Amino acid sequence: MRAVLFIVKVLFALCLPLFLITSNLRWAINSHQLYEYGFDSHQVATGTGLPESELQKVAVSLINYFNFERDTAQVMVMKEGENLELFTEREIIHLQDVRALVRLDYFVQFLTLALIVVFGLTLVLGWKEARWRRLIEGLLWGSALTLGLIIILALWSLLSFDQFFLLFHLIGFPNDYWLLDPSQHYLIRLFPQGFFYQAALFIVGATLVEALIIGGIAFGAQKSQCLRDRKCYNL
């Protein structure tokens, strides 16, 4: 029984960082404010020649596409009084690959949330003795694991984001359609590497804060129970 309890707590803890990271990634994908901030900070309007209103239309269209509310990633924009299709076929294919990764992120988020609920209920309802302590310990382990993982990713990103960004593309995409030329492709001018660096910082920062809050609440609850019961369990 103790072995089963330990396995459930470990699985619960492993699901927590995956859920937090995929949730924050989903927020970034759907954040109009993040798109606007990236466009402004990297002077995308100047680099593309597209007015702010057209950039906002592009952001909304891509968000809808990533959420399967549009069948195509192609966007018609107005530039210098003329309508034009923004993306080439190469960019369209790459955005299809991106949407596949977005779908994977959503699936992992949903799956880890479901597992967190199942494992949490198992820890609370599966055993009569010290049931809440087991859940609290799972939250402590999960928040500690999240903090450790985020610190490693943050240091890697800060010290060598170029390497991190390249490795992500090599692993995440089955082809080389992500290799784009800024002189020919609008996509790389809309979303330069610096845009993703800022997005990564937002995701890392949000996950770090959430892990600290969860860990702090769990630590406080553990200490409160220890003082009330005058004993702690190491399970």
DSSP type of residue 62: H
Bridge partners of residue 84, in order along the sequence = 77
- The long-range contacts involving 2-7, CB below 8 angstroms and separated by at least 24 positions, are 2/235, 5/123, 5/126, 5/127, 5/134, 5/235, 6/235
All residue ranges of the chain with pLDDT < 70 are: 1-2, 126-131, 225-235
CA 27-31-36 angle, 5° bins: 150
Q: What is the pLDDT of residue 209?
A: 96
Q: What is the pLDDT of residue 227?
A: 55
Q: What is the pLDDT of residue 235?
A: 44
Task: Provide the 3-class DSSP secondary structure of residue 178.
Answer: coil
Q: What is the pLDDT of residue 127?
A: 63
Whole-number Å distance between alpha carbons of 219 and 128: 22
Whole-number Å distance between alpha carbons of 202 and 159: 17
Q: For CA atoms 62, 63, 64, 68, give the dihedral sign.
A: positive
Whole-number Å distance between alpha carbons of 132 and 217: 13
- Enter the pTM of the model: 0.89
Whole-number Å distance between alpha carbons of 107 and 117: 15
Classify residue 12 as exposed, middle or buried by CB count within 10 Å of its CB (0-12, 13-18, 19+).
Answer: buried
Q: What is the pLDDT of residue 158?
A: 83
DSSP type of residue 52: H
Please write the tens of the pLDDT for every residue from 159-211: 889 999 999 999 999 999 999 999 999 999 999 999 999 999 999 999 999 99
Task: Please state the domain extents for the chain.
Answer: 2-48+105-229
Give alpha helix (H) positions in 30-130: 32-41, 44-48, 52-66, 89-125
